[in-house]
């Protein structure tokens, strides 16, 4: 590699430079660079506000709020999920029939784990729930094992906005007995529920994933989501003794020899 006279890692590098790292500078120089980045961050925030304003103006889809879903108290109308409030946010959790706890969706576990407490949503007049297509007896066992306190419901065989594809974060509005679908997102659109994504993006090494743009010399990245599963020692791995990372904090979580799904058997 050809090094320029101003190369932070070259022979004329400033005192304290670290090989394979950004330049080491004095506080004033750092503040100047930080202030320049702040201009871009503020623009990003304003664009986020504009997108939120556009979401509030999306057209709505009305659906039958009397359609029944199944929760801990048996079948109830979808309207009950609002808990008397006008707004509702749900996460639609994918489900693998017959799989043990460690075999359920890692990404959905990530989302649901960060939606355990809706106290601030409730204070704003918004209810929250988790929906899934699993049979209720399996779902109830999983919810109990994970220690989830938020309401879960099975929408097995439920079509339309109340059911639909899983792996989505979806918002609803109630007007009396009328119910409306207002917004839905999936993929990286779900990331806002998990604050750790934003925190990792602020750290020097970020998420540690291969796709991210990192300085030359930074540690080599892994495949996406590499830390969603770990073994009993806390090592990130998708091997035969791994399970969704938060499960290790639950009583009874022990090393396993299979995910319990035909597509991941070892």
Q: What letter does residue 254 receive in the DSSP assignment?
A: -
Q: What is the DSSP letter of 234?
A: -
CB 147 within 8 A of CB 113: no
Would the CA dihedral through 74, 76, 82, 85 be positive or negative? negative
Hey, what's the torsion of the CAs at 212, 111, 81, 60, to 10 degrees?
10
- C-alpha pair distances (Å), 252 with each of 108, 146, 147: 21, 10, 12
Model pTM score: 0.88
Going residue by residue through the chain, which has 266 residues, state the pLDDT in tens, using 9 for 90 and above.
Answer: 334 444 544 545 555 677 778 899 999 999 999 999 999 999 999 999 999 999 999 999 999 999 999 999 999 999 999 999 999 999 999 999 999 999 999 999 999 999 999 999 999 999 999 999 999 999 999 999 999 999 999 999 999 999 999 999 999 999 999 999 999 999 999 999 999 999 999 999 999 999 999 998 899 999 999 999 999 999 999 888 899 999 999 988 888 877 776 454 43
Q: Where are the domains of the chain?
A: 61-190
- N-terminal to C-terminal alpha carbon distance within the chain: 44
Strands 87-93 vs 126-132: parallel, antiparallel or unpaired: parallel
Put residue 230 in one of left, alpha, beta given phi > 0 → left and psi -120 to 50 → alpha.
Answer: beta
Cα angle, residue 187 at apex, residues 101 and 119 outer, rounded to 5°: 65
**Which CATH number is 61-190's, of 1.10.10.10, 3.40.50.10210, 3.40.30.10, 3.40.50.1000?**
3.40.30.10
Work out the angle at residue 47's Cα, subtended by the Cα atoms of residues 46 and 49, and round it to the nearest 5 degrees: 65
């Amino acid at each position: 590699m050809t090094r320029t006279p101003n190369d932070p890692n070259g022979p004329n590098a400033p005192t304290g430079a670290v090989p394979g790292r950004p330049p080491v500078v004095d506080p004033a120089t750092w503040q100047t660079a930080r202030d320049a980045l702040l201009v871009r961050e503020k623009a990003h925030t304003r664009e986020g506000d504009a997108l939120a304003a556009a979401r509030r103006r999306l057209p709505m889809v009305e659906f039958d709020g009397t359609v029944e879903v199944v929760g801990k108290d048996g079948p109830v109308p979808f309207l009950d999920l609002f808990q008397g409030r006008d707004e509702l946010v749900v996460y639609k959790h994918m489900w693998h029939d017959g799989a043990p706890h460690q075999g359920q969706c890692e990404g959905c576990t990530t989302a649901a784990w960060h939606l355990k407490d809706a106290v601030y949503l409730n204070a704003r007049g918004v209810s929250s729930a988790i929906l899934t297509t699993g049979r209720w007896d399996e779902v109830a066992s999983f919810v109990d094992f994970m220690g989830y306190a938020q309401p879960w419901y099975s929408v097995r065989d439920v079509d339309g906005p109340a059911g639909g594809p899983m792996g989505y974060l979806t918002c609803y509005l109630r007007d009396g007995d009328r119910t409306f679908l207002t917004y839905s997102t999936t993929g990286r659109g779900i990331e806002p529920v998990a604050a750790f994504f934003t925190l990792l993006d602020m750290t020097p090494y970020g998420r540690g994933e291969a796709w991210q743009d990192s300085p030359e010399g930074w540690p080599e990245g892994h495949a996406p989501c590499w830390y969603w599963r770990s073994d009993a020692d806390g090592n990130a791995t998708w091997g035969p003794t791994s399970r969704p990372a938060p499960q290790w904090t639950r009583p009874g979580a022990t090393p396993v020899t299979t995910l319990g799904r035909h597509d991941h058997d070892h």
